Amino acid sequence: MKINKKFTVAIEEIVVDEFVIEAESAEEALEIARAKYKSGEIVLCPGEVQSKMMAVAQPDDEATEWVEF
């Protein structure tokens, strides 16, 4: 009889969206965007998925490299 094992699979998505920020410099624009993202004012939902990767994380003896899918 074949016994199934349990695996933990990690999935990572890179989502991209663009937001217009008014600022006096690029550095200030990044600071404003960071603050707005942290406060929930900027939300990537769902955005445009640029990359999807997955890998087996557990058990360690069968962990795999990240693969794009």
| Long-range Cβ contact pairs of 60-63 (< 8 A, separation 24 or more) | 62/5, 62/7
19 near 48, Cβ under 8 Å? no
Predicted pLDDT of residue 35:
98
| Domain range summary for the chain, segments of one domain joined by + | 8-68
Per-residue pLDDT tens for 8-47? 999 999 999 999 999 999 999 999 999 999 999 999 887 7
